[in-house]
Amino acid sequence: MGLKVYLDGRFVEKNEAVVSVFDHGLLYGDGVFEGIRSYNGLVFKLEEHLGRLFESARTLMLEIPLSKKELEKTVLETLKVNALKDAYIRLVVTRGIGDLGLDPRKCLKATLFIIADKITLYPKEYYEKGLVLATVPTVRNHPEALNPQLKTLNYLNNILAKIEATNAGVNEAILLNAQGYVTECTGENIFFVKGKSVWTPPPYVGILKGITREAVMGLAEASGLAVREDVFTRHELYTADEVFLTGTAAEIVPVVKIDNRLIGTGRPGPVTLKLMKAFKKLTLKEGTR
């Protein structure tokens, strides 16, 4: 059976899932999206993902054509139609078809599509041996230019940083903000461990408030660690006991080297490994079916 995509009210074959070249999501990156995971048929943190989608759309003054309840039902139906239990779900809402001008009022109806498929962001060995990161020249978007809390279709800031990471021969890029503070990576939030504390940047420095980030913060607190949301520089990363990344696609992945500096022992640390196990258990018992 071929992959079926939900597109504006109906399921179509993958090769028939097309949008107009006049869609402002394509022309201008005018739209919002969410990446969501399902584990054994349970959709992880679906309510939180839909909440963030609607918040992003509200700031963009983009009207989503379905309610949260309708979207929840449609996401589950997309999994069922494709007979998927463990999947990555991409939910996208664009401004819709307009003219060649910028004016969003010329787009009369949003385009909505949902793709459910498999995803492997990193090979298994990276979870066992850890990632190598580098700080890149591209600065994170200023919150009053294009707020990183908005999960929009305009991902050029992230893509430019990813290109720089690739050119540097490393797995991922760390973006700093204009003040020199650590923000996040191109597709993941960043944490470091120091003693009994776990640190991660606060939203106001310029990060996406990750759904996995929030879940991991809860798991860390439940395990007796102190969780701190505070600004920090690369120095704190270089001298940390452990560093790890979190994201919907990546889940939790260890970091062992940053800017040619070994982190801790140069191997995935005990706190990271403990959180990875706890997160896996969480995904198998929490979710929407």
Best CA proximity match to 272, nearest among 191, 186, 171: 191
Cα 60 to the center of its chain, rounded Å: 19
- Catalytic residue chosen out of the listed positions 68, 151, 280, 281: 151
- Both tokens of 105, joined, read 């009022």
Q: Distance between CA atoms of 98 and 175, rounded to whole angstroms?
A: 34
- Find all residues with CB under 8 Å of 80, minimum gap 6, and list them: none
- Both tokens of 273, joined, read 């490994």
Alpha helices in the chain (DSSP H): 24-28, 46-59, 68-81, 124-129, 156-168, 211-222, 234-238, 270-285
Catalytic (active site) residue 151: yes
Contact, 250 vs 121, CB < 8 A?
Answer: yes
Q: Distance between CA atoms of 77 and 288, rounded to whole angstroms?
A: 12
Residue positions annotated with a catalytic role: 151
